[in-house]
A and B are shown apart, each in its own frame.
Chain A
Amino acid sequence: MSLDEITTGRAATAVRHLLSINDLDRDGILEIMRLADAFAEVSERPIPKVPALRGRTVATVFMEPSTRTRLSFETAAKRLSADTMTFTAASSATVKGESLRDTVETIDAMGIDAMVIRHHASGAPLNVTAWTKASVINAGDGTHEHPSQALLDSYTILETLRARGGGDGPADLSGLRIAIVGDIKHSRVARSDVLAFAALGAEVVLVAPPTLMPASLEGWPVTATGDFDATLGDLDVVYLLRIQAERLGEVLLPSLDEYHWRYGLTRARAAALRKDALIMHPGPMIRGVEISPDVADLPASLVTRQVRNGVLVRMAILFHLLGSGEI
């Protein structure tokens, strides 16, 4: 298979795992969106819970700390009536030197249906599929992918456009121009978002200084630029990525101040955006670096909406992989 095929998506047959957005095609992504809509209705009920996954067990295995993603998956599992168990690196045998394989096989032996894994090494969730019979869901692996984030991002954009249209919205992201701004090179969110947004028809532009761009964009369905200001006027969505302070030590940036000056979403840049442009961020957000403190609170900011939708989309993912029949 060529890099191009990998990057632009291949049809999924009988999905067992969600390791990459490429495990879903456009229809698969839209199916997740439809399920998320259904679960949005469920979450409005007095008791926001359905028995869809009763008797199923979902294990969250977090080898690097991420409270919000873990809580989001666990909440989603519980709303589907699944049993959950939690395994985090800090409280586990990992600190005693147990290998990933032994950890996974131990959890697998307890009898689980899905394993939601976060790992600091790219590809670890794929490695894990060899050691468990459960469906493996990538909750973020190294600098590779974070597919549930990209699905909730796509859902949040679609939902917002639909609300604007009075309930009538576009079927996908066709015609939208989306800028992803920041540390593309090290971002698993960016890698998944690029694939998801492109699969749904959006035009994606990556904005970063050359040091924070991947070494090669061959096969990526994107355009790239280092000039944020030049892109502002015709964007429908500005997606900001978190900048980590350790990039300074790697000599990829002179200072966070200079980054903010060139690539931060300042009030001036926000003013240069079209009025209906949306502002997104996967969190945790560092105010004063990638975004000015006041801009993050503008009405155009969807940041808290992303968090709420995270639960719905993760319900949809779990149901898509494990569920059958009616919700």
Chain B
Amino acid sequence: MPAHNTSGHAGEVVVRGGTLVDETGERRGDVLVKDGRIVAVEETIEAPKGAVVLDAAGCVVSPGLVDLHAHLREPGGEIAETVESGSRAAALGGYTALVAMPNTEPAIDSGAVARDVLALGEDALAEIAVAGAITVGRRGEKLAPMAELAALGVRLFTDDGRGVQNSGLMRRALEYASGLGVVLAEHCEDLQLAAGGHMNEGPWSSRLGIAGQPVLAEELMLARDIALVRLTGAPMHFLHLSTAGSVELVRAAKADGLAVTAEVTPHHLVLSDAAVQGYDPVFKVNPPLRSASDVAALRAGLASGVIDAVATDHAPHAPERKEEPFDEAPSGMLGLETALAVAYGALCSGKGRAAADTGGSGPGGSGAEHGWVAPEKDSPMSLRDLIGAFSWKPARIAGLFAETKGGLRGGFRGGLRGGQGGPIQPGAVAHLSVFDPSAQWVVDVARQASRSRNTPYAGRRLTGKVRHRPRGRGRRPRRRGAAMTPARRRCPAGPGRRSAVGEAVGVRP
């Protein structure tokens, strides 16, 4: 591991020995970063005196990951997560940017709240973009001030946690948004059809006596929204799709040339509703875990590009809330620290070693062992395509691909935003992720950066781990180093460290 005491040095970082993977292709190379920007990409680069050297041997060096869907719980839910703790989790997962969902308390439905969250993001370990609510209070009744939010740099709008139930209102929202250069994102769930269901409706819900929500609750709203895109011409993004029927609807919409994009979560790529049989609320999530055939369709949809992005839907909840009975516990799972490894294990690792990665489920196993869908044997997706679904594709959807001036109008110290997911080339902002595809590790809840513990992967062995996550300089920190202390404590071998070169988060193997 490199030395991390980089302050006072020349602000130079060399990422050495890795395979560079980006939208343009794949090649061997070292990367020299200076003052937060890539200044050289060569076959081999000799480290300048005083430079930090990040060992990337055997690793894939890619643009930083971009999460379209993270619940950072601030303001209002700080007992479960904060922008600071969530961004630390993001850094450990290889993310250099994420979109904070607006279902906070109060909701991000005004310039004031958006400004607050963006200000918290100034000190965070990843670039924090915010999604604005489509409707005031996410109540689905009247439009939020989308133009005011757009002027603050908000590019994604959603009432996530709830779909916009009123079709007429959704039509007007799309029409109003179409002049603003923003994208509306839907949590597709018809609440009448979902009827308060706590899991997927099917054989397992019937047997377990848990109210189910049918796949149609998602697909019907998705079909409606696709029809509204056709009517209005406004682009839409579909959050956390979970059913085979949804994949087909998006495929057909894209074939018709409609401006739609879609994401899938890591957990919907590896878990089926059989996981609920132990009544462990850690497996309660919305949309719910679906059948194994839905999982297969989502994997195929991601591999074929029908689904554009993997997004975490990182949804922290305080431990005591997740100890309530299944019917009463809140929905959601952590995801930021494990997302790439989980998706990699499901889709790219198949060469014989995959079977061990998802853990066995012997006949005597506890109920929670069930529901893990075996990884694809023939690796239907290349690692580069997978990273595309984690990086440059979501960066474009979130409006973070292009480099722009600081987002807060008349506000905070200027600086750049965006520049996420772009090719690794001189001049680019050094938002990078270094992923070791051969590393094996066991998820240790106690070592996660999140304030919450609700990860379904606790104790499971994953393949592939983020080793480093250099990040280009954004804004100058207001409190130099203050936000770093907890990261240092949790990751003794590779603390995030703010310096003249931005940050170099290392993760102990």
Contact = CB atoms under 8 A, between A and B. Distances in A.
B203 A219 contact: yes
Given A3-B203, A99-B324, A216-B203, A122 B209 contact: yes
A123 B279 contact: yes
Contacts of B326: 121-123, 127
Contacts of A6: 207, 277
B410 interface: no
Interface stretch (A68-76, A141-149, A160-168, A291-299): A141-149
Contacts of A121: 325-328
A175 to B, nearest CB: 26
9 contacts: A3-B204, A99-B320, A100-B324, A120-B327, A121-B325, A143-B211, A144-B210, A215-B202, A217-B206
A99 B323 contact: yes
Contacts of B211: 143
Given A1-B363, A1-B370, A99-B320, A123 B202 contact: no
A28 B107 CA distance: 55
Contacts of B327: 120-123, 142
Given A121-B326, A216-B201, 19 more contacts: A1-B361, A1-B363, A1-B370, A119-B325, A121-B328, A122-B279, A122-B327, A123-B209, A127-B326, A142-B209, A144-B208, A188-B209, A191-B207, A215-B201, A215-B214, A216-B202, A218-B202, A219-B207, A250-B195
B13 to A, nearest CB: 47
Interface string B80-124: 000000000000000000000000000000000000000000000
Interface residues of A, number: 30
A34 interface: no
The 8 closest A-B pairs by CB, nearest first: A123-B279, A121-B325, A144-B209, A214-B206, A143-B209, A218-B203, A122-B209, A121-B327
B202 A126 contact: no
A231 interface: no
B286 interface: no
A86 interface: no
A207 B328 CA distance: 30
A63 to B, nearest CB: 9
Interface residues of B, number: 31
Nearest to B367: A126
A124 interface: yes
A308 interface: no
Contacts of A225: none
Interface in A1-15: 1, 3, 6-7
Nearest to B326: A123
Nearest to A123: B279
B205 interface: yes
B205 A101 contact: no
Nearest to A131: B323
B200 to A, nearest CB: 10
Nearest to A1: B363
Interface string B170-210: 00000000000000000000000001000001111111111
Given A215-B201, A215-B214, A216-B202, A127 B207 contact: no
Contacts, number: 86
Interface string A204-232: 00000000001111111000000000000
Contacts of B212: 215
Interface of A: 1, 3, 6-7, 99-101, 119-124, 126-127, 141-145, 188, 191, 214-220, 250
Contacts of B320: 99, 101
Contact of A122 (B202, B210, B363, B370): B210
A100 B321 CA distance: 11
Contacts of A145: 209
Interface in B321-370: 323-328, 361, 363, 365, 367, 370
A50 B345 CA distance: 59
B48 interface: no
Given A216-B202, A218-B203, A123 B324 contact: no
B278 interface: yes
A127 B202 contact: no
Contacts of A188: 209
Nearest to B206: A214
B283 to A, nearest CB: 11
Residue in A1, A6, A218, A219 with the greatest tally of chain B CB atoms within 10 Å: A1
A3 B209 contact: no
Contacts of B280: 127
Contact of A216 (B206, B325, B365): B206
Contacts of A220: 206-207
Contacts of A123: 208-210, 279, 325-327
Nearest to A3: B203
A210 to B, nearest CB: 13
A198 to B, nearest CB: 13
Residue from B202, B206, B365 with most neighbouring chain A CB atoms (10 Å): B206
Contact of A127 (B203, B214, B279): B279
A122 B376 CA distance: 33
Given A1-B363, A122-B326, A123-B279, A215 B208 contact: no
B87 to A, nearest CB: 30
B325 A127 contact: yes
Nearest to A126: B279
Contacts of B202: 215-216, 218
A192 to B, nearest CB: 10
A119 B328 CA distance: 12
Interface string B204-230: 111111111010000000000000000
